[in-house]
Structure 1
């Protein structure tokens, strides 16, 4: 499913693009998958009904973790992303020994319906089940057929240290590999897709094993817009504590969007 030959023939170029990108390391790869196979997968995407558990920070956003069950093409994609061949490519591009989570915890098929949005945020840093797996990368494959900028929903990225930012287009068959760090904010503004069309992507995460825990483990840190309500800002400030408390008593529901 993945166009491995293209990636392997352009490793040095892709590495340079990733490491020198602004406002922080990221990489855009078009035609990431075999176009015909990805179109077949796209045609099998159902309308999802499992709403994101990101509470008030994600509007009308739905998820399905086990997207590999939808059709053979998605299963092939899932296996390709978790393969040693792809891990070798990621390690070279990022200049770090990284690997895709073979269980894809927290990832999957994401679908933004009418007026969907995702507030700017920092993702969890250490894997909830493997405490020394540090999250190095978000890998986002977009399935927005015939996408146009006026549909909105472009991936916004911002460096929390410098406030430099960019907005990346999200057309069909584009992979965006984005560094995860304590300063790599990302999200998307409210969408304006035509009726019956959704902002659709596959999210996968890659990690590095740390022999020492170098950051305080966190869930998600949210950064609502300046014009957000005082209540929302208060919720964002206390979100980590509230989620950790909930998980302690009720467990994590992140991987249950089947």
Structure 2
């Protein structure tokens, strides 16, 4: 199986068999960490042409996160659209379905399909579980793909992706956002994840490309909103504030849903700021 721009080491018959086994045995959630995921030329081009932090339209800043994101591919270098086409192709779907064992995986063309995340110095995303539905498309969110685009990233700059267990007692993996490293993971209650605070020099930022994959809603689906979770070493005051804020948010969304108002998450992600 050949997929344009994807490392043939991962798409060969032997490679697929190894990845499938690694994914199934991943802890605390099913996941893969794939270095040199894209062709080096494409990775370098994406890095060199990554949109500036100030140009990204969606700014998320709260008690539990500080980052920017966007999904307006028409404003960026063509390499981003090329990558979106690859991860949204039938060949890629077939590859991902085989690795994960999830039939019918697809992505979408909206803000909850593909885009970019970026965070400057002091940016972070606290540990959370993802919302499990694309409300506009009416699809079940199942798998996340993150591709990091940070050249010469230093360990002391932070910005690691952390994977925690469901009970928030043990952090199992701490993954540096190095250039051309991809993370694929199953997103459910067993996949709390977050980004440690970035401490990078001026002119640097933590950059990534995201794609979320979905299936039709079927047996076993139960709506789950996104929710921030406290780390064991968080201050008591922050734990209380986080818990209170998240409970209020979820109850407010439930109330609005009962009134027929669409998801606040979707509204926020599509609002230019």
TM over 0.5: yes
Shift of 1:84: 0.5
3-state SS of 2:45 partner:
helix
1:149-188 equivalences under 5 Å are: 149-161=155-167, 163-165=169-171, 166-188=173-195
Would the alpha carbon gap of residues 205 and 257 (structure 1) be closer, same or farther in structure 2, given more than 3 Å must change?
Answer: farther
Q: Distance in 1 between matches of 2:110 and 2:22?
A: 26
Whether 1:206 aligns to 2:213 is yes
Deviation (angstroms), 1:213:
5.9
d(CA) in 2 for partners of 1:62, 1:162: 26
Number of aligned residues = 255
- Tell me if 1:253 matches 2:268: yes
CA distance in 2, matches of 1:245, 1:254: 20
Within 5 Å, give how 1:2-41 maps onto structure 2: 2-3=5-6, 5-9=8-12, 10-41=15-46
Q: Answer yes or no: is the 8 Å Cα contact 2:117–2:207 preserved in 1.
A: yes
Deviations 1:180-237 (A, max 9, x none): 012210001111112110011011101122334631x233111134315333331122
After TM superposition, the score normalised by the length of structure 2 is 0.84
User: Cα distance 1:7–1:68, how it changes in 2: closer, same or farther (>3 A)?
Assistant: farther
The match for 1:236 is: 246
- Scaled by the length of structure 1, the TM-score of the pair is 0.89
Change (3 A) 1:39 1:246: farther
Contact 1:65 1:256 in 2 (8 A): no
**After the TM superposition, which residues 8-157 of structure 1 pair with which residues of structure 2 at under 5 Å, given as runs?**
8-9=11-12, 10-49=15-54, 50-53=57-60, 55-59=62-66, 61-67=67-73, 69-106=75-112, 107-131=114-138, 133-157=139-163
The CA deviation string for residues 10-62 of structure 1, in whole angstroms up to 9 with x for no partner, is 10011111111122210011111111122122111122333434633212x11
Classify the secondary structure of the residue corresponding to 1:115. Answer: coil
